Amino acid sequence: MVDQLPNLGREDEMLKAMGLQNMEDLFSDIPSDVRFKGPLPLRPPQSEEEILSDARRLLGANISMGSRTSFLGAGLYRNYIPASVFQLVTRGEFLTAYTPYQPEVSQGMLQAMWEFQSLISELVGLPIANLSLYDGSTAAAEALTCAVRVHNRKASQPNTVYVSSLTSPDKMSVMENYCQGAEITIKTLEHNDDGTLNLDSVKDAAGSCGVYLEQPNPLGVLDEGLTKTKEIVGEHTALIVGVQPVSLGMVEAPGHYGADIVVGEGQPLGSPVTAGGPLYGIFACSKPYLRLMPGRIVGRSVDVDGKEAYCLTLSTREQHIRRHRATSNICTNETLIALMGAMHMALLGPDGLHDLAYRNAAACQKAKEVLVETPGVKIVHDAPHFNEFAIEIEGSAEACLAYLDDNGIIGGFDLGRWYPSITNQILITTTDQTTQQDIEALSAQLSMWASHQGVSA
């Protein structure tokens, strides 16, 4: 504490200059009946060294994914972040700046965010991207409310949106919280047994305000059917596609198959998993959505000398101007994490992104090739996958994951936590960090598990 307060020991000097007697005089305006009595009942202050030591002990007691063999993903993906990203993002000029309200001294972050918008726009195939929302779930939720704002007047199903029934309940819960205030009804779209979207059910969504689908879907399935959905729902229903951004190194940009809004969890580009936050939500859209979209956006402009300059623009959508009529309540966003994303994208370039996507796809392919041969393991969907796929095992998924855990493997995600009627399926996630040895170790342990369950090899 003493190393954080420059004026410790100078209080009297300062008070005297002001004509005050003591610190208490500074708080004379606070009625005594609302004053704290006595000191805060909290622990004593620590030094930097003591804090670091406690942090190492406590955080060291956590089991990091890198210290095990891990197949846990389900929306977050372990990746490698180039060293230069960390080095640059912790520069104090970026790290300790506020929202760029004074553009003349914030050109660095403003330009970096304008470049981020450009990178995301190209990645997803849409002309407009904002400079981040909180995470993939809030980006999806804000996309739904944005779609209603844009389409409600002409909708034959006003205040109604459709969401894939595979959507994770946690994300769905965020959507429900964001939608209920505007009295938006969320209906679900069904899927076929092979994991693909039931395109017949999409017909029900025509005339609604928006449709939310993911590519790859929550079970890792790459679904070609999504390319036909815009035609089915029509011009006056927003097609919103949630993406894993790395996949777009190989997979077509949704903006090129009719998506009006693309959202996603930006984390795999630039950010560690960090126990689920801070992350950054991608939000991109086509022109009709621009003036009703959420979040901050940077425009390129000029200064009084005609010199290229950047500033926040279209602020009249935002809470600090529009107050209760704002398109969103968002103020603080995830700029610094988006900056990490921009740096990672800048390093990768178009070919690097393709290679990164290929490494992810190859790891997934390899895992499928090995697990399809593993006794007692069935791959649930005979479909192309990216990053992850569901397997069915003997016995309960929960018990199997506990068994794998006992043997040093973080085995994946128990799909029963999303879909309560399923008890024996695990979502296996691979990334560019997955090795052949990891996959073989998983296969060996799943094989052992199967034999414990009475399956013979």
Partner 1 sequence: MSHLFNHNGAPNTGYSQPPSIETATKPSIPAGLVRRQRARWPRLSEPEMVRHYTWLSKRNFGIDTGFYPLGSCTMKHNPRVNEVIAQLPGIADIHPHQPEHHLQGLLSIYYEMQHMLEVCAGMDQVTLQPVAGAQGEFTAVRCIQEYFRLKGDTKRTKVIVPDSAHGTNPASAAMAGFEIVEIPSRVDGRIDLDALRAVADETTAAMMITNPNTLGLFEADISEASKIVHDAGGQMYYDGANFNAILGITSPGLMGFDAVHFNLHKTFSQPHGGGGPGSGPIGVKAHLAEFLPGPLADRRAPTAGEQSTAVDEFWYHWREPTHSIGKVQQWHGNAGAVIRCWAYYRRYGSGLTTMSEHAVLNANYLRYAIHKAARDEGVDHLFVDGAETDVAKHEFTLSMQPAKEQFGISAMDVAKGLLDRGYMAPTVYFPLVVPECMMIEPTETESKDTLDTFAQHFAEVLKVDAETLHAAPTTTPVRRVDEVYAARNLCLRHPFDD
Interface of this chain with partner 1, residues 283 to 322, rule: CB under 8 A: 290, 296-305, 307-311, 313-314, 318-322
Say whether residue 258 binds partner 1 (CB under 8 A): no
Say whether residue 105 binds partner 1 (CB under 8 A): yes
Say whether residue 361 binds partner 1 (CB under 8 A): yes
- Which part of the chain contacts partner 1 (CB under 8 A), choosing from 56-64, 150-158, 197-205, 445-453? 56-64
* Min CB(422)–partner 1 separation in Å: 16
* Whole-number Cα distances in Å, 175 to 137, 163, 291, 419: 7, 10, 21, 17
d(CA 415, CA 417): 5
Among 194, 331, 382, 408, binds partner 1 (CB under 8 A): 331
Among 146, 166, 232, 253, binds partner 1 (CB under 8 A): 253
Say whether residue 454 binds partner 1 (CB under 8 A): no
Beta bridge partners of 162: 187, 211
Measured at the alpha carbon of residue 403, what is the angle toward residues 400 and 409, in degrees to the nearest 5?
A: 100
Beta bridge partners of 413: 427
Say whether residue 324 binds partner 1 (CB under 8 A): yes
Of residues 226 and 238, the one with the C-beta less far from partner 1:
226
Measured at the alpha carbon of residue 393, what is the angle toward residues 388 and 395, in degrees to the nearest 5?
A: 140
Among 207, 375, 384, 395, binds partner 1 (CB under 8 A): 384
Q: Is the dihedral of CA 242, 245, 250, 253 positive or negative?
A: positive
Say whether residue 268 binds partner 1 (CB under 8 A): no
3-state secondary structure of 281: strand
* Whole-number Cα distances in Å, 389 to 74, 217, 367: 10, 10, 9
Quickly tell me which residue has 């004074």 as its tokens.
102
Say whether residue 250 binds partner 1 (CB under 8 A): yes
- Which part of the chain contacts partner 1 (CB under 8 A), choosing from 100-108, 148-156, 157-165, 187-195? 100-108
Strands 281-285, 308-312: pairing is unpaired
Cβ–Cβ contacts within 10 Å for residue 275, how many? 7
- Which part of the chain contacts partner 1 (CB under 8 A), choosing from 108-116, 200-208, 389-397, 444-452? 108-116
Say whether residue 419 binds partner 1 (CB under 8 A): no
Say whether residue 153 binds partner 1 (CB under 8 A): no
Q: Please tell me the count of residues contacting partner 1 according to CB under 8 A.
A: 207
Say whether residue 74 binds partner 1 (CB under 8 A): yes
Q: Which two tokens stand for residue 298?
A: 């940077």
Say whether residue 178 binds partner 1 (CB under 8 A): yes
Say whether residue 26 binds partner 1 (CB under 8 A): yes
d(CA 130, CA 365): 34
What's CA 163's distance to the chain center, in Å?
18
* Min CB(429)–partner 1 separation in Å: 9
Say whether residue 406 binds partner 1 (CB under 8 A): no
* Min CB(248)–partner 1 separation in Å: 7
**Torsion, CA 203, CA 206, CA 209, CA 211, rounded to 10:** 30
* Whole-number Cα distances in Å, 35 to 21, 24, 25, 40: 19, 12, 14, 12
* Min CB(155)–partner 1 separation in Å: 19
Lay out the site mask for partner 1 across 184-213 (x = CB under 8 A, - = otherwise). ------------------------------
d(CA 28, CA 286): 56
